[in-house]
């Protein structure tokens, strides 16, 4: 009976790990999709991309503003930064696998990763300050 319980737990842990991998993959796919453009849109791909980047910057600015006075908002910001960091890592792995000659793209991803790590440190400091 104990052995069957261990087997059940092992299967459950494996299923949870698989679900986590699928969830992370979907998040990376949504990150890639976020920057893809609609070919039928008359604005053109660069304008679409610029508008999406502007929206992302505006959203992040509002998050930082709310986080300045709320531990909950700071935790939400921290969670989003961690998710973006994880998605960036997954995109980098995908690029390394499928586009190994794109050195400039890899460097851009490395720069973005460092920026996210800096943001993560800033928000962690903000959370410590708000709790003090």
Give the start-to-end residue ranges of the domains of the chain.
Answer: 2-37+44-131
User: How distant, in Å, are the alpha carbons of 7, 8, 44 from that of 4?
Assistant: 5, 6, 59
Phi and psi angles of residue 40, each rounded to the nearest 5 degrees, phi first: -85, -10
pLDDT in tens, the chain (132 residues): 444 555 555 555 555 555 555 666 666 556 555 555 566 766 666 676 667 767 777 888 889 889 999 999 999 999 999 988 888 888 888 888 888 888 887 888 888 889 889 999 999 999 999 998
- Which pLDDT does position 26 carry in this prediction? 62
Token code pair at residue 63:
């998050």
Three-state secondary-structure class, residue 70: coil
**Nearest by Cα to 88 from 66, 118, 116, 47:** 116
Q: CA torsion 20→115→117→63, rounded to 10°?
A: -80
- Which pLDDT does position 84 carry in this prediction? 86
- Which pLDDT does position 76 carry in this prediction? 94
Q: CA-CA distance, 91 to 103, in Å (whole number)?
A: 14
Q: What is the pTM of this model?
A: 0.62
- Which pLDDT does position 75 carry in this prediction? 95
Q: CA-CA distance, 60 to 57, in Å (whole number)?
A: 5
Q: What is the CA radius of gyration of the chain?
A: 19
């Amino acid at each position: 009976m104990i052995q069957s319980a261990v087997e059940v737990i092992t299967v459950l842990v494996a299923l949870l790990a698989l679900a986590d991998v699928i969830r992370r993959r979907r998040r990376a796919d949504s990150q890639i999709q976020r920057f893809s453009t609609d070919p039928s849109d008359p604005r053109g791909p660069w304008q679409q991309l610029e508008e999406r980047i502007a929206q992302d910057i505006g959203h992040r600015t509002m998050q930082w503003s709310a986080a300045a006075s709320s531990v909950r908002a700071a935790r939400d910001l921290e969670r989003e930064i961690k998710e973006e960091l994880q998605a960036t890592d997954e995109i980098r792995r995908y690029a390394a696998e499928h586009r190994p000659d794109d050195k400039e793209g890899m460097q851009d991803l490395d720069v973005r990763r460092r920026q996210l790590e800096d943001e993560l440190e800033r928000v962690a400091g903000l959370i410590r300050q708000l709790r003090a």
